[in-house]
Structure 1
Amino acid sequence: MVESKFKTFFFLFRQLVFLPFFLSLISCSDGSFNNACDTKTKAYFETSLIAVAAGQKTHPCYPGSQIVSEPGINLSDNFVTLTEARGTSSNGSSYTVQVFLGTEPKDDVNVQVIVGNPSYVLVSQSNLLFSKSNWNQNQSTVITAVNDTVINGNHSTLIRFLPNTNDTSIPLNEKLIQVEIVDNDKILFPTSVGQTGTLGGVSGADGVCQSNANCPSGKLCKAMLGDSINLFRRASVTANVGDGQIDWVLKPNTSYYRPNRTDLIATTNNVSLFTFNLSLAVSGTSSTTWTGINPNWTNNGNDCTGWTVTGTSGYGGDTGSNTTSALGFNTFGCTSSLMLYCVEQ
């Protein structure tokens, strides 16, 4: 029994004594085991696993580098999704990417941040400098989507992190981040067939818009209506302010086009309202449309009892106007056959 314990102890002692030497042999010889000093090889990662199992915190090839990071440039992310919305009239959402070195350099390392398509995204820092004094401190650059006024669908670009240094002791490979930008520009259109004011409520009107041929495939379309009875939809409580919105169909800082996707109607402000006059009328043809919305974006009390009853009246606008008349200019009997404004969501 004593002899068995002694053999076990001797075996473990021998592993601990010779393991660092063994690691240095397989890791630092350029021609051995598929060059385990090359961070791109399988041997590098296998050597890292052996080192971790032995309680080592650094790779034998790179004593100043934590195994969890590469000796060269490291990025916190390599894929980022942004949206043109959620920002301002010119900028969309943003994301901060951390950049750091895995080991101390012998000379300054300058990392150039190059955007593949500057019309898609912007970066806050185009150059990052790592020196012997700050190499172990994370640096960052903020990536911000450009909020354009073009319906160009979701689009993407690459951001390159290109290192430059006189230090040849550590591998410094270019790194890439792919950025996906979600387009926020949409279409707004009137229906081509009139409807009475008995629409089945706001949800029924939404169904009419959803089934319209102009509603893009796979997208959701809703009716631009005000509802004063049930308060299922509202653009503003106070004139032209955009407060107290309920299930409102326009989005902030978003450009809306006619169905041909080239004729810009208008771009909303940061509270999801159009400022008149519009660039173009919603339609090139003048027709009357149900809105239930006053020219100042507040709900009008005439809405066919929440768009459910024909025995009352509803408020309507002019599809061919680029003034506030587009929202409303008169009341009409709910048995009238009027159009609807439909908005892509």
Structure 2
Amino acid sequence: MQYLFLLLFFLMFQCTQPTLNNPSDIQSDAFKENETLLCLTGQLSACNLPIPVCTECKFYSTSITYVGNRNGITGADAICMSDAKKPPLPSRAVYKAFLVDDVNRIACTTSNCTTGGNSEHKDWILKPNTSYYRAGDSQKFAVTDNFGIFTSQLLDVDVNALSSIHTGLATGGWTTRTNNHCNRWTDGTGTNNSGVAATGASISTSTLGSCNAPSVILCVEQ
């Protein structure tokens, strides 16, 4: 009986998981509290902080130009996240490309989204009732309506006047220009096959441009 008791005691000791609160243990409460404090005081850069959502959102234009082949919408978004002109703050801000096609990113399917409103969007990059600012000088250049589009601009989208910017938009109404989006931004060849904003002062309208002509990408804070 004595040996049985000792055996049970030994097994209980072996199966019990010790509970420690070592600050160097990444699973411990002490470590998590210390990490939070370091993040809040700016002493730790690699923090699992939430991705910010902009309320006064910024536009910038990329530092180099690209023809119509941008590896699709997702490729253009990746360019926006890595370009040298991307504002450094907020450090975890997300930027996406001001481009549309007929499948992956759509602003409106009817003129100015009058039929379906916000339901016409697909992966759209502008927010309803939001002010948009030029990253270069923090000047407000447009305000969106209830459907996340704007019908006029206060200023050029960039500090430096821009022209012939690939967007894929139609002449007006925020719809996608039929078959003129460089094969969903995967083709950098051909002429008269891309919707382009003629000037940075009216980026929601377009003329017909060419996929082989390079232009900046407009990037929008999310």
TM superposition score normalised by structure 2:
0.66
> C-alpha distance in 1, partners of 2:197/2:81?
21
Establish whether residue 315 from structure 1 lines up as the match of residue 189 from structure 2.
no
In structure 2, the residue matched to 1:280 is 155
Q: Could you tell me how far apart the structure 2 residues matched to 1:316 and 1:222 are?
A: 18
Aligned to 1:178: none
Tell me which residue corresponds to 1:246: 122
Structure that is richer in helix per residue: 2
Native 8 Å contact 1:190 1:319 kept in 2: no
Q: Is the alpha carbon distance of 1:270 and 1:303 closer, same or farther for their aligned partners in structure 2, counting shifts above 3 Å?
A: same
Residue by residue, what CA displacement relative to the aligned partner does 1:129-164 show, whole Å, maximum 9, x if unpaired?
xxxxxxxxxxxxxxxxxxxxxxxxxxxxxxxxxxxx
Deviation for aligned residue 1:330: 2.0
Match of 1:265? 141
CA displacement, residues 319-343 of structure 1 (integer Å, 9 cap, x when unaligned)? 432x4xx234322221111111110
Match of residue 305 from structure 1: 183
Distance of aligned partners of 1:332 and 1:258 in 2 relative to their CA distance in 1, 3 Å threshold: same
Contact 1:227–1:292, Cα closer than 8 Å, also in 2: yes
Change (3 A) 1:183 1:338: closer
The structure carrying a bigger strand percent of its residues is: 1
Alignment of 1:219 with 2:96, yes or no, is: no
Deviant stretches of 4+, over 3 Å = none
Residue aligned with 2:197, SS? strand
Query: Given the superposition, is the C-alpha separation of residues 255 and 214 from structure 1 closer, same or farther in structure 2, using an over 3 Å criterion?
Result: farther
> In the alignment, what sits opposite 2:106?
234
Q: Confirm or deny: 8 A CA contact 2:107 2:121 kept in the other structure.
A: yes
- State the secondary structure of the residue aligned to 2:217: strand
Superposed CA RMSD in Å reads 1.8
1:255-312 CA-to-partner distances (Å, cap 9, x unmatched) read 1101145310111111110121x11110241322110012210011200111112344
**AA matched with 2:197:** G
- AA in 2 matched with 1:195: Y
Whole-angstrom distance in 1 between the partners of 2:144 and 2:200: 19
How far apart, in 1, do the equivalents of 2:198 and 2:173 lie?
Answer: 15
Task: Select which of 191, 195, 211 maps to 1:334.
Answer: 211
1:164-204 residue CA offsets vs partner (Å, 9 max, x unmatched) = xxxxxxxxxxxxxxxxxx75111012223110101100001
Number of equivalenced pairs: 158
Structure whose alpha-carbon radius of gyration is higher: 1
> Residues of 2 paired with 1:339 and 1:262: CA distance?
19
Q: Could you tell me the percent identity over the aligned residues?
A: 35
TM-score for both structures, normalised by structure 1: 0.43
* Alignment partner, residue 204 of structure 1: 75
Contiguous gaps of at least 5 residues in structure 2? 1-52
